[in-house]
Amino acid sequence: MNQNPLLMPFTLAYEASPFHQIQLEHYLPAFEKAIEEAKTNIATIKTQSTFTFANTIEALEKADGLLNRISSIFFNLNEANTSEAMQNLAQTLSPMLAAYSNDVLLDAQLFQAIEAVYAQKDTLSLNVEQQTLLSKTYKSFVRNGAKLLPEAKEKIREIDQELAKLSLQFGQNVLAETNEYQLVIEKASDLAGLPDEVIEVAKQTASQKGKPDCWIFTLQMPSYIAFMTYSEQRALRHEMFLAHNSKGFKNNTHDNRTIVNRIVQLRHQRAQILGYESHAHFILEERMAENPQKVNHFLKELLQKAKPSAQKEMEELANYAQKIDAIDRLERWDYAYYAEKLKKEKFAIDDEMLKPYFKLENVIEGVFKVAEKLYELTFVARNDLPTYHPEVKAYEVKNKQDEYVALFYADFFPRESKRGGAWMTSFKGQFKDQNQDSRPHISIVCNFSPSTPQKPSLLTFNEALTLFHEFGHALHGMLAKGQYQSLSGTHVFWDFVELPSQILENWLYEKECLDLFAKHYETQAPIPAEMIEKIKESANFMSGYQTLRQLSFGMLDMAWHTHTDASEADLYSFERSVVKETDLLPVVENTSISCSFSHIFQGGYSAGYYSYKWAEVLDADAFEYFQEKGIFNKDIAQSFQKNILSAGGSEHPMILYKRFRGQEPTIEALLRRSGLLQQ
């Protein structure tokens, strides 16, 4: 039998993952071996004659290193380059990993060892990071059932097994629904209003799908957003809207209603077994927000500030649609279309004017230059290193001393094997072992319009913001300097993790940044100063409405995870009752937010979606500091790197933030930036 590359030392430069050697059949035996190795390491911990921080807490931190590495590779590829066989394997592996996790967290003998060390915490002379690791380890065991009676522990095991399968199935259903739908256009007249490059991509998609005489639009976000923004065919926008917003809500084999209710029910049961009022109470105990009351107060405060502005915006938009097209009632499938037209009329700017200045390669170069000016990083393409798909690029990251900092992978285009959205992840975490700093392998994954034979990939301004956002997360991972992997990089409180990503978006509105890279892809002319001014002027266009939209997601998330009877509710009615406060457009029957709300039912944002707005308070406040001193001020950048990016989860985030900023953030900075302060 051939040797399994997942179980062999990774011998490529910087221990890069051998993607070119890994086959699907390698995963299951690799997982089985890695779990066996981790259990052996844990058995050694339990047999110590005395329990110390080093032989118990630090040993446990390192016990499943191989398993973490293999898991990162498999589950990242299952998100970004999956197949039906891989999805089937994930349904086998996820419960296996849930069982292993429960075996560890519910091991009474192991907990006794941890408890013995924790009891000595005041006499151990630990540094701050060691104290955090000890506290986090002890709490994670207690919070996940270590003190429960055997029957309750068994129930937790059963729940975790089922949840692992359900969240995977939820995501697979959303992906299947995304891939199954296509809008086939046969008449050129039905393309009215669509930009040339959007039409070119649709023609390319049709050719790939064996219909060269047609144009095909899909539910992949670049295709969907472009169609909804520019198509003059209102009936077709309606059709696309219904297809997108009914994913997982069609009474077919991919329906997610039962899965949503079951996930909510199981999370609530689990929280109650562990002694918490709700899943949200359980989650928020380990967040900056602390409890559901604080989150709901925060969301309500923003709602009060934003709603008057949002109502004025929607009244203006409805009047505009009535004026130019005699639209009697503005519908949800009209919003993007008329908002884009009104924006152009008010500010003499739109995405089509901006896109020529945001060629993908130039934006990548731009974000690299920002990283160089702020943190003295350089990025060198490594075409010799294998990647998991031909479209993925690998880069070696170095500092000003020419020392290796990280590997960086970039994956930018949609495909049927990849879920929608954009995210940052890692194939290898950062940690220190015997004073050797093991550096991370970081990846960002997006879904941008690909190039065509006629034009390169040109990003909308929002897509450029997305790239900067995910790259902000990547910097958090790449600049990690922690001792322990579980506290390193993005391993921070969930409502703090969006600060590094969201703050980087601010640079894209600044002339000093745009002048670095925003050049017309044909003429190489720099983006005009007046266009940059229009970008800034239009930044708050419809900001009240967009705030309400984000609040509706946060409020729905909190409702699912705080209401004790939510799992019994009719999903559609429950949704409507929650989001009616934020709704400014007519309700559309046969659509659902929850059934494709992957953030909370597949990803890690359950009882945490509010954190996007929470982190906006932090990033608005932090960026004001940069603006006061200069957006490329080296001293401020060094402080942000040291206290935020490199510190990871070594201390409580508010301590780290105040060390950087000198004060706690206030909501006023966000309201100022959003133009909502006077409301």
Residues 594 and 485 in one domain: no
Catalytic, 470? Answer yes
Of 178, 184, 183, the C-alpha closest to 254 is 178
Number of domains within the chain: 4
pLDDT digits (tens, 9 = 90+) for 512-538: 999 999 999 999 999 999 999 999 999
The encoded tokens of residue 548 equal: 């309400």
Residue 137 belongs to a domain with what CATH number? 1.20.1050.40
| Helices assigned H by DSSP within 479-610 | 499-505, 511-514, 529-537, 543-562, 571-579, 598-601
Flag whether 301 is in a domain.
yes
pLDDT at 75: 97
- Given 199, 223, 245, the domain boundary residue is 245
d(CA 603, CA 599): 5
Mean pLDDT of 170-199: 96
Domain extent for 417: 356-537+612-674
pTM for this model (two decimals):
0.94
pLDDT at 434: 85
Banded pLDDT at 676 (limits 50, 70, 90): confident
Residues 200 and 270 in one domain: no
What is the chain's mean pLDDT, rounded? 96
pLDDT at 677: 74
Share of the chain above pLDDT 90, in %: 96
Flag whether 491 is in a domain.
yes
Residues 465 and 519 in one domain: yes
pLDDT above 60 (res 679): no
Mean pLDDT of 288-308: 96
Residues 458 and 591 in one domain: no
pLDDT at 429: 97
Consecutive H or E run containing 395:
strand 393-398
d(CA 89, CA 74): 10
Residue from 58, 177, 470, 498 carrying the catalytic annotation? 470
Terminal-residue alpha carbon distance, the chain: 70
pLDDT at 678: 58
Mean pLDDT of 370-385: 98
Banded pLDDT at 435 (limits 50, 70, 90): confident
pLDDT at 395: 98
pLDDT digits (tens, 9 = 90+) for 552-572: 999 999 999 999 888 888 999
**Spacing of C-alpha 622 from chain mean position:** 21
pLDDT digits (tens, 9 = 90+) for 357-368: 999 999 999 999
Residues 464 and 531 in one domain: yes
Specify the higher pLDDT residue, 495 or 567. 495
**Contact partners, residue 621, CB within 8 Å, separation at least 6:** 661, 665, 666, 669, 670
**Which of 101-105, 348-352, 369-373, 608-612 is predicted least confidently?**
348-352
pLDDT above 70 (res 1): no
pLDDT at 354: 96
Residues 293 and 264 in one domain: yes
pLDDT digits (tens, 9 = 90+) for 260-279: 999 999 999 999 999 999 99
